[in-house]
């Protein structure tokens, strides 16, 4: 993955209505500085902001997926900037120390109730 330039994450809702949260593969790619192209499915838009931290297309729309992929390829000169922004989101929101602190705060509130 680290040797890749782009990670495609075209997630969509299952026929049974099953949905994922934020796919780990997207978080891992962004943490490694790989530009993500993701669908608007579930939690992906929480981390992939179109043109800023990656590229986003409407879930289940093949034409939008193709347009988005072209847009990403045409933005080649911005890949480093977009990758840095994506990694910054991972460092800020998904760093183990940050998450641990949030979790401990949550637990402490529950104990006080």
pLDDT tens, residue by residue, 39-98? 999 999 999 999 999 999 999 999 999 999 999 999 999 999 999 999 999 999 998 888
Closest by CA position to 10, among listed 65, 53, 50: 65
Contact residues for 14 (Cβ-Cβ < 8 A; gap 6+): none
pTM, entire model? 0.86
Mean pLDDT of 7-31: 95
| Tokens encoding 45 | 């838009």
Which among 52, 72, 99 has a CA at the least distance from the CA of 6? 72
3-class SS at 113?
Answer: coil
Q: What is the rounded CA–CA span in Å between residue 106 and residue 113?
A: 11
Residue 11 has pLDDT above 90, yes or no: yes
Q: How far apart are CA 16 and CA 1, in angstroms?
A: 30
Q: Please state the domain extents for the chain.
A: 6-112
CATH number of this structure's domain 6-112, picked from the four choices 3.40.190.10, 3.90.230.10, 3.40.50.2000, 3.40.50.620: 3.40.50.2000
Q: What pLDDT, on a 0 to 100 scale, did the predictor assign at position 112? A: 86
Residue keyed to tokens 């929101």: 93
* Higher-pLDDT residue of 97, 9: 9
Classify the C-alpha dihedral 58-60-82-43 as positive or negative: positive
Residue 32 has a pLDDT of 96
Give the per-residue pLDDT at 97. Answer: 87
Which phi-psi region, left, alpha or beta, contains residue 36 (left: φ > 0; alpha: ψ -120 to 50)?
beta
């Amino acid at each position: 993955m680290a040797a890749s330039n782009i990670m495609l994450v075209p997630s969509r809702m299952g026929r049974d209505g099953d949905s994922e949260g934020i796919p780990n593969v997207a978080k891992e790619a962004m943490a490694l500085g790989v530009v993500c192209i993701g669908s608007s499915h579930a939690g992906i838009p929480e981390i992939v902001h179109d043109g800023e931290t990656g590229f986003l297309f409407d879930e289940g729309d093949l034409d939008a997926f193709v347009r988005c992929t072209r847009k990403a390829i045409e933005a080649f000169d911005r890949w480093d900037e977009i990758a840095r922004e994506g990694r910054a989101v991972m460092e800020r929101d998904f760093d183990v120390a940050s998450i641990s602190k949030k979790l401990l705060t949550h637990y402490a509130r529950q104990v006080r109730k």
